[in-house]
A and B are shown apart, each in its own frame.
Chain A
Amino acid sequence: MKQSKLSNHAKIWMLLGLFTVYVCLELSLNILLIDMYAQPIQAVFGEHRITAERLELFGRTLSGFGLALAVATFIPAKQFNLLIRDKSQRVTSNTALTPKTARLINGVFRPLLLVIVWALIIPCLRIAVDGVVDTTSNDKKLGAVRAIVYKEAYLAETVAIEGFPQFDEIVSDPKRRDLMVALIPSLAYFSSGFNQLIESNLENMADQFLLNRQEEYFIKEAIPRIRQFDRTYKQELASYQKASKGYLEALKKENNYSLIERERVALQNKANDKINNHWKSYSQALLDADNYKKEVAEDSTNAIRKGYSSVKDDYFSSNCNSACRRQLKVDFAQYLTTLKYDTGESFGVYLTADDITVAKMLKSKYYLMAMFERGRINYIHRVYGIPEDMEYEEYNQSSQALKIAVAQFKEQGVKVADNWSFNDERALHQAIEAKYKGHAKALWGEYRKSSRFAVAKPRLDRVGFARLPQVTQYAQKTLGSYYLAEFSPSISERKYKKLWLNKQDNISFIKMVTSTAATAAFSPGGSMFMLGKDAVKLAVIPPMSIAASLLAIFLLFIKLAVYLWPKNKGYLTLAMLAGILAFALPVGASIANKNAYHTMMGNFAKAFSTVDPFDKFFTVGFGYVLDIENGIFQTYRDLKVVRLAGKIIKYQPPYQADDTEDTPTEVIAVHDEHLLRSYDDFAYNWLSFLPKSLGLGEVIKPFDTNITVLKQDMNVGAYMGVRLENEKVVAVNMPNFMQNSDIGLLADQKFFYKPDVKGLVEEFSSNYDDPQYWLQLSQGNIGKQSLMQKLELNMAAYLNSNASTLTLLNTLNNKGQNNLILLELERNKKYRCFVLGVVDAQMISDSINVNFFDYQELPKCKAVL
């Protein structure tokens, strides 16, 4: 008995221990969910995608355990009779369980059941969630999209609610923000008042976001282009001005008669000087010929002197006849005349054989000195080109002097004819003119060749330059899609930005996906099917899970109390005390706080939740949930256990260092194949027959192309899904566009037998959300049969007959781009075309936060409807 009591205590302790572990895990889940869904969708779908999936699996596993435990423990023992072969051992209502049976039931059957049910619940929850999402009406999906839009905008602090500064304060307070952000979508989704508030503001809100984004984009993309333009423009202007100045200067010289005359006079004077200087230096050189190279002659060791001596020896040798002597003289004359120093400088004499004296009478020195002087004089005459007998007066009018003058002119770039004479001043003037003539034009030609703008005319001022077509062309080229006719080289960036922003088409993704006409596109196969699913999941599931885990903790306490009550009041008190300390106190403090959420939400409900009583109740209740959650969240968000659980669940990319493009999703998927996930995926696929058999979800193949027609006012005109086969439109679906409206039923099929398909289609796309249009259709009276089918058939036929649009659809399909947005241009039924990737919730975040949200415009798309 004592032993059994001891084991009882141990059992209770163990239970309490397990309970604590479970509570801790639930708590972790709760807090991690808040952490996760306080992130922008971008992050949830992006960097935290795997973590979010793991968290979800963790949540399902944990809740599955709780549910399975409940199932396993609450099933009456009698139900296990099926499994007991021995009839005597079976449970009967009137007798107590035999210990053997109790052991069998509680020790084997119940744990087995627990495991089986747990294993089934994990995938079933996923299926159930999918089912809930799939069966959510399109209107509700639209509501969810609005809720997500609000959440993202709220998180990005780009939206405020009039009269509720508290909301703004919360979101800018990092301590309080996360909780509010994680849970606000559920309020926005469930509270119809709040949802309506969002809906009624969404259009303006979307425009505002778009404008912000367009501006950011302009700053990022257009400003650098403008500055690039400015740099080139300034360079071009500077080079133009420089060239223009050079041109003018050259032109002035070309045309300035008196300047040219002045140059002529200067040239002539200079030539006169040169002619005289030539004579001066000639006559001086002649004087200097005296004792020329005397030192060489005097130096007995000098090679020339030695050479002379050897010539002398040979000359006077007995076997040298007159011819030999003559030759010796010739050779020696040649030698001295061509003699050069190492520097290349000539020895400076010119001698012929006749000038060579070979005699014995005097020392060689004297003969050499005499030869040098004579040779020098000869040399000077030759070098100066002046004959020996020419006198100065004769020289002054000689061809030699004329040559000097002509050479001097040439040196200055002035070319006169060879037969020019000293008194031909006109020719000289013209020669100077010719030097400058065409120079300006040549300079300009150089400028044009070297510059980008290559302006044809010089002398434009800044105003003229700025207006050149080259400038406009370059601006168009540089600015590309940012070019407006108002652009000029001087318009301030700010002013231009304003102009540009005003001119932008406000094709707002948000506006598009939240348009009331958009409900149709949320149907299966529609362009926003994925978006709707994502939105519902994001708006409903996370807050619900958070609330559920909170509830689970609370229920578990009750269950523990129920269990302990009959057994041990001491442990009960201990457990309850711990519970109160751990949860009731922080929660109570949070509720009692003067900034408590429930008071704020009460005020909010008064202002906005006026639609129905549930709305008001929900809003206030939401405030209390926030308070409770706040108490727990603020107390335990940094608890070690929570952080540890978070760390385990948080996905660490295996190759952190390797941050190349392919890391995020593909590699992750491979590395995340652990047992639980594999089981979950397997069971999910295996059990997916369930919803089908229950008639809950229908799977529709996505369309090849989804077409969204935007009217001139940027509101959605129509959605349609197109199926292509063999380059032809085989079917057009307009997914349930008359949903929630019985106007469609009034439509008369007779209308669609009208041969004017084109007119019909045009009318449809511009009027289909106008009830009057449908009422007009109802004038006929033959049956109410499928208006939509007729319209769809006609549309398919029409698209097939419309070659350019059909080509466009095929091209897009081949490229895998399946969202086509057609923006109606003014009046004519022509469209600008944009393509989008798959429309999902991430795009909401992108369209609020990201600098650029890419509607890729197809140039010359030629879509005509």
Chain B
Amino acid sequence: MSLLRTIGLYGLLIFLLWGCAVDKRPDQYTSAMTVSSSLSAHASHFSQYSELQKALKYRNLSVTDAGQILPINQSVCNAALFYRITQTTLPQYIGKHQDLLSGFYIDVAQVNRNWLVVDTDNDFSTIGNQQELTKVAASLMPKMMRQDVIIIRPVPGLDSASLIDLAQTAKTLFLGHRLQFIVDKQHFALMNNLVVEPLSTAASQSHAFIAATEQTSDARKRMIMTMDSFDVADATAIVVDAQPLIACMQANKHAILSPTQKVTAAPLKVDTVLLASILPTDADFNRLAEQQQLLSEGKYLSINNQQLSYHVGNKPLSNRCSLLKKGDEDYQYCIDRQQDGDTVITTQKYIMKIQK
């Protein structure tokens, strides 16, 4: 009996000492995160665009609810995009622009102690449409993203007091947003004191600067550039308005990816989806109706508004040597030098003759 008790006691002890094996295997494993293919915020979810959207995605493009074709995001442009505001009405995609834009750009002038947003050129030479800054801000603010940056270019020649006033005004109007002011070098310190990032009005090694007029275009309204270590100026930001896509394509020749399909013969049915897949990398994607027309002629419309043949567009001048033939002027550059200089060409005996 005592033996039985002893065994029982031992058994209990062992049981107590021993932890039991733990089995934490779940019945079923699930994914921690749901993986979905996302679209850019500004891309349309309309079902009528779904096919086009898919085709465009492979070209770094997207279509908005308004039917405008835009870069799928700003990073394909190799530069940040800023939207230039000149009036209170804004494009439909503003408000869903987090992928497309880094912020907004405004040219500001002072009239009667009022700050106005003006429609002007890169040199501030002619001033068109004007809007009060407060009104613009009021219409813009609800649509801004948290990370949006505001670049303000005050009209040149403002004194410090005015600049301070403008900076304070902008700070209150665009509360919580990063501000950048394009000013002369002499105002850099002032800007830094106001906790406003200064950009230079002239080429600079140390600061980003606004590019000269020659580098702008209808689509690319302003350019913000920086110098790299080889003293080559690179665009870091492009200011766009109505034609962000063309501006983007002008800034980066590789923004649009190569066609995913090739046309060998005129297709039976030409639709926008097909165009999205076959248009060359320098085509104007926002004029698809015209492109549709031109395709039957084997042509397309480039962003420079030129009609080009598909043949040319599909074969960028990556290697002229493959096209050149013997006899072409540049052909000589495509061949290796013939090492035939060793053979003597001149040695002949000189024949003396009686000179008459």
A367–B10 Cα gap in the complex (Å)? 12
Contact B21 A287 (CB under 8 A): yes
Min CB distance A469 to B, Å, is 15
Interface centre among A252, A463, A490, A492 (most CB of B within 10 A): A463
**Taking the complex as formed, is A726 at the interface, i.e. its CB lies under 8 A from any CB of chain B?**
no
Contact A255 B345 (CB under 8 A): no
A286 partner, pick from B21, B35, B73, B343, beta carbons under 8 A: B21
A269 partner, pick from B14, B35, B41, beta carbons under 8 A: B35
A255 partner, pick from B232, B252, B335, beta carbons under 8 A: B252
Give the residues in chain A near B324, CB-CB below 8 Å. Answer: 463
Contact A160 B341 (CB under 8 A): no
B32 partner, pick from A252, A401, A462, beta carbons under 8 A: A401
Contact B60 A393 (CB under 8 A): no
A162 partner, pick from B60, B98, B335, B352, beta carbons under 8 A: B352
Contact A463 B341 (CB under 8 A): no
Q: Which of A31-39, A197-205, A319-327, A563-571 contacts B (4 or more CB under 8 A)?
A: A197-205
Q: In the complex where A257-B76, A490-B334 touch, is A377 in contact with B349 (Cβ < 8 A)?
A: no
Contact A498 B345 (CB under 8 A): yes
Q: In the complex where A257-B60, A396-B30, A423-B33 touch, is A493 in contact with B232 (Cβ < 8 A)?
A: no
A491–B338 Cα gap in the complex (Å)? 8
Interface centre among B31, B228, B257, B324 (most CB of A within 10 A): B31
Give the residues in chain A near B318, CB-CB below 8 Å. Answer: 459, 461
A756–B343 Cα gap in the complex (Å)? 53
A652–B351 Cα gap in the complex (Å)? 40
Contact B78 A215 (CB under 8 A): no
Q: In the complex where A268-B35, A405-B32, A456-B232 touch, is A286 in contact with B23 (Cβ < 8 A)?
A: yes
**Taking the complex as formed, is B124 at the interface, i.e. its CB lies under 8 A from any CB of chain A?**
no
A611–B270 Cα gap in the complex (Å)? 97
Interface centre among B29, B232, B255 (most CB of A within 10 A): B29
Q: Interface residues of B toward A: which range?
A: 35 or more
Min CB distance A8 to B, Å, is 60
Min CB distance B42 to A, Å, is 12
A441–B32 Cα gap in the complex (Å)? 36
**Taking the complex as formed, is B229 at the interface, i.e. its CB lies under 8 A from any CB of chain A?**
yes
**Taking the complex as formed, is A350 at the interface, i.e. its CB lies under 8 A from any CB of chain B?**
no
Q: In the complex where A362-B13, A374-B19 touch, is A219 in contact with B38 (Cβ < 8 A)?
A: no
A255–B34 Cα gap in the complex (Å)? 25
A283–B21 Cα gap in the complex (Å)? 11
**Taking the complex as formed, is B337 at the interface, i.e. its CB lies under 8 A from any CB of chain A?**
yes
Give chain A's interface secondary structure class: helix
**Taking the complex as formed, is B193 at the interface, i.e. its CB lies under 8 A from any CB of chain A?**
no
Contact A501 B346 (CB under 8 A): yes
Give the residues in chain B near A223, CB-CB below 8 Å. Answer: 341-342
Contact B73 A257 (CB under 8 A): yes
A490 partner, pick from B72, B228, B337, beta carbons under 8 A: B337
**Taking the complex as formed, is B254 at the interface, i.e. its CB lies under 8 A from any CB of chain A?**
yes
Give the residues in chain A near B350, CB-CB below 8 Å. Answer: 153, 158-160, 201, 204-205, 208-209
A261 partner, pick from B25, B37, B230, beta carbons under 8 A: B37
Contact B99 A219 (CB under 8 A): no
A396–B24 Cα gap in the complex (Å)? 13
Give the residues in chain A near B34, CB-CB below 8 Å. Answer: 423
Contact A433 B33 (CB under 8 A): no
Q: Which of A54-62, A97-105, A271-279, A511-519 contacts B (4 or more CB under 8 A)?
A: A271-279
Give the residues in chain A near B338, CB-CB below 8 Å. Answer: 492-494
A275–B32 Cα gap in the complex (Å)? 7
Closest-by-CB residue of B relative to A467 is B333
Contact A466 B33 (CB under 8 A): no
Q: Which residues 112-167 of B have a CB within 8 angstroms of A?
A: none
Chain A 478-510 interface mask (CB, 8 Å, partner B; 1/0): 000000000011111110111001000000000
**Taking the complex as formed, is B265 at the interface, i.e. its CB lies under 8 A from any CB of chain A?**
no
Give the residues in chain B near A423, CB-CB below 8 Å. Answer: 33-34
Contact B344 A219 (CB under 8 A): yes
Q: In the complex where A162-B353, A215-B347, A463-B330 touch, is A254 in contact with B78 (Cβ < 8 A)?
A: yes
Q: In the complex where A373-B18, A459-B318, A461-B318 touch, is A219 in contact with B57 (Cβ < 8 A)?
A: no
Closest-by-CB residue of A relative to B23 is A287
**Taking the complex as formed, is B268 at the interface, i.e. its CB lies under 8 A from any CB of chain A?**
no
Give the residues in chain A near B19, CB-CB below 8 Å. Answer: 370, 373-374, 377
Give the residues in chain B near A492, CB-CB below 8 Å. Answer: 337-338, 340-341
Contact B17 A272 (CB under 8 A): no
Closest-by-CB residue of B relative to A259 is B257
Contact A493 B14 (CB under 8 A): no
Contact A215 B38 (CB under 8 A): no
A316–B268 Cα gap in the complex (Å)? 98
Closest-by-CB residue of B relative to A444 is B230
B341 partner, pick from A219, A433, A488, beta carbons under 8 A: A219
Contact B319 A462 (CB under 8 A): yes
Q: In the complex where A272-B33, A370-B17, A493-B340 touch, is A461 in contact with B351 (Cβ < 8 A)?
A: no
What 20 new A-B contacts, CB under 8 Å, besides A490-B334, A608-B354? Answer: A160-B349, A161-B351, A161-B352, A162-B353, A209-B350, A215-B347, A218-B341, A219-B342, A279-B24, A279-B29, A286-B24, A357-B17, A362-B13, A422-B33, A445-B228, A445-B229, A463-B334, A490-B332, A490-B337, A501-B346
Using a CB–CB distance below 8 Å, which chain A residues touch chain B? 153, 157-162, 168, 197-198, 200-201, 204-205, 208-209, 211-212, 214-216, 218-219, 222-223, 226-227, 230, 234, 251-252, 254-258, 261, 265, 268-269, 271-272, 275-276, 279-280, 282-284, 286-287, 289-290, 357, 359, 361-362, 366-367, 369-370, 373-374, 377, 391-393, 396-397, 401, 405, 422-423, 425-426, 429-430, 433, 437, 441, 445, 448, 456, 459, 461-464, 466-467, 488-494, 496-498, 501, 607-608
**The 5 nearest A-B residue pairs measured at CB:** A493-B341, A370-B17, A422-B33, A392-B26, A492-B338
